[in-house]
Structure 1
Amino acid sequence: MSLRKSYRRAKIYRGRTGSPTEKWHVWYSYRNPITLKFERFKVYEELNYIKDHKEKEEYAKDLVTDTNVMLRMGYTPFAVDKRTETLIDDEKIAIVEAEKNKADDPQLIEAFEIFLKAKRLLNLDSDTITTYCSYISKFENYLFTTRRADIHVRDLTAGFLKDMLTWLSDHHKWNPTTYNNHLRFCGTLANWFSRKPRQWVKKDDFVISKDEELEFKTAKPMKHQYFGATVADRVKKEMIKIPQLEFYCKFIYYSCMRPDEIRELVIENVDIKGRYIKIVGKTKSRTIPICDELAALLETLNLDQHPLSSFVIGKDGQTARIRHSEGYFARLFREYIRKPLELSENFTPYGWKHTRVVDLLNAGYSDAEVKNLTGHTDTESYDKYKRDLVNYMHTRLRGQTLGF
């Protein structure tokens, strides 16, 4: 048994399609010490609060790294098995003794250990314990690297926590969402440290607010720049050389569908005669209208000659039984359009959706018509989207004003 590996390394599960709107998780397998069989465990943390694909991918990779580090350090999800009463009793005794010996002024690293032992006794979900261990391992890395491992809990200040999170953020290249998750956990720790019988710190010293030293960072979603006429004309000339990319961008422009929606679109959900496309989601579905231009585009695919289960824009940009890879068109655009034209990274194929919205609004189409196309379910979210995209579009300053 001693020669057998006790765990299998963590991996990312990206849902059925890989879309950031699906429920992702990180999973690993650990050998049950009683049955000797591997059992699978899932780690979610704050992963599914993230809807931006790039941010979600980065967060998931960090979560894999953290989970693997904890497994190498000896973490086991079976450490507090409910069936092992003697182990639980030993843990309780250890905590009581630890808190008795260090009740007045434990070192921060010792306090971390007491916190984790106490949480394991609550029989929390193994994913939660893994998450706690992940956060604490980073904090301990900071303490040892900066030679502050001897700091005591009573010496903690909001400024110290801010310095720690800033250092970790720079070191690990965190995005705002990851930073906020670790700050939120700092609040959890401070709250636990402040309660009886410990009362090591004062809870009011660690308030997270815009008016305090500890505050959340603003997580701004990535913008996909719409193509103004100057840029659009040159991009269109280049795209003629890559027909599948040109078709894909036209499809986005006329349908205003998201890349993950297009990747999942099958022929049975396209009704050219009825002039609608049905987008099927896990919790709800919606339909979008097919304009004349989009109908003409779809007619060139000869969809009636393919099985109904085929993907409209499948592998290699062709109608096929296999989906196109997730980054297929993004790579084509980057290599054959953005780099040669020296465009900024703000320009992506998805930007054609925003271009369509701007063009329709400029042409006088109503907000209700445009909202039906973009898929916004409420006026508030649509107004914010429109405001971020075009802001002061209708203004006399765009026409003749005063001469010089």
Structure 2
Amino acid sequence: MRASSYKIPRIIRAKSGDWRVVYEYEIPGQIGAFKKFYVRDGINYIHDLQEKEIAAQELRDDIEEALKSGYNPFLAEIRTESKIFAEETEIKLNKEQSLPDAWNMKEAVENFIKYCQLKNLKDTTVKKYKSQTNTLLKWFTENEIDMKACEVDEDIILDFLEQYNEKFSWSARTYNNYIDGIVTLFTRLPRLERRRNKEIKYNIDLGYLEDKNAIAEKNRYYAPKVAELIKKEIKKDIELYRYVRWIFYSCMRPNEIRHLQIMHIDLDARQIKVAGGLGKTGDRFVPISNELFSLIKEMEVDKMPLDYYVFGSGKRPSPKKTFNEYFREKYRPIKVKLGLDKNYTLYSWKHTRVVSLITAGFDDNQVMTLTGHRDRTAFEAYKRDLVIDNSVMKGKTIDF
């Protein structure tokens, strides 16, 4: 009887923290010769050793089950290039289909918490995960994001971290704890959900969250040269061009703009009302600068019905809001083309506006009317994240 074409997977627990599962598979055409394959699948993003051990064991079991079912890594390599188009098409179809059997975020979180309890994790750990996942669900509700858990991508997570970090002025420790919790959640969910539905596929990449020291990058802005390159690209799409300019001139958040109706724009008083449920600190009013005034006229917003949304589901204001991902999906190919990482977002245009105004000499109190900060301490912290200081070491110092 011929020996098995593979050797049982095992866990390697390196002292450096680089854990992985290794298995060996017989090389095609070379009987008795095996090649080693190493799989990490996100387990090194988990820092709690007990949870990391559980994740590593599950990964090992998943790989062994796949091998028993006939998985051949060499065939997978051969098929990789030909599968790219099929996989991209499948992802696109998944977004378009309702995925009725897939967990929504609430179901996913409930099953994750139940799993943590069954694994007898520490009560404090389970309590922490409950708090973090409830906060994540709250953010989804506030932003009217109705997605299956398997559809959530890294840009969604970055938006959550960025918005809530600014809204609640998280400490570095709190921010890092949320990163750890989210990584654990989305490392675990694919395995939990695939136990009941083998067809479910998650396409989230949390590798960009690995650097815990880059907290200030949450407020990354576009330097002038980068901004000019992006402007050149977005001018090709008038709808996207208007949307980015609106963020820049108003400093409103994407979610605030999405919910903005024409009835909230007062051209006589030159101000826009942002509803309390969408802003950081209750109702606030955004001043309409000359540039924003011109954009409003350009879009003929003042000629539309009051209940229309400024950025509706068409090329012009309409009675229906655009879906949450609309402009992000338009913007993503431009970031890819220019080689910009995930810290550069549509929301970064707000930060770019702030930097531009302050470096041009506008007073902090004036800028705060745009950003929505009512607390000077919070605004100073926001400026530090952007590394804005017009006075220190930027003029003549001492020559060599």
TM-score, normalising length: structure 2: 0.49
Q: Tell me which structure has the larger Cα radius of gyration.
A: 1
Relative CO higher for 1 or 2, CA cutoff 8 Å, sep ≥ 6? 2
TM-score, normalising length: structure 1: 0.49
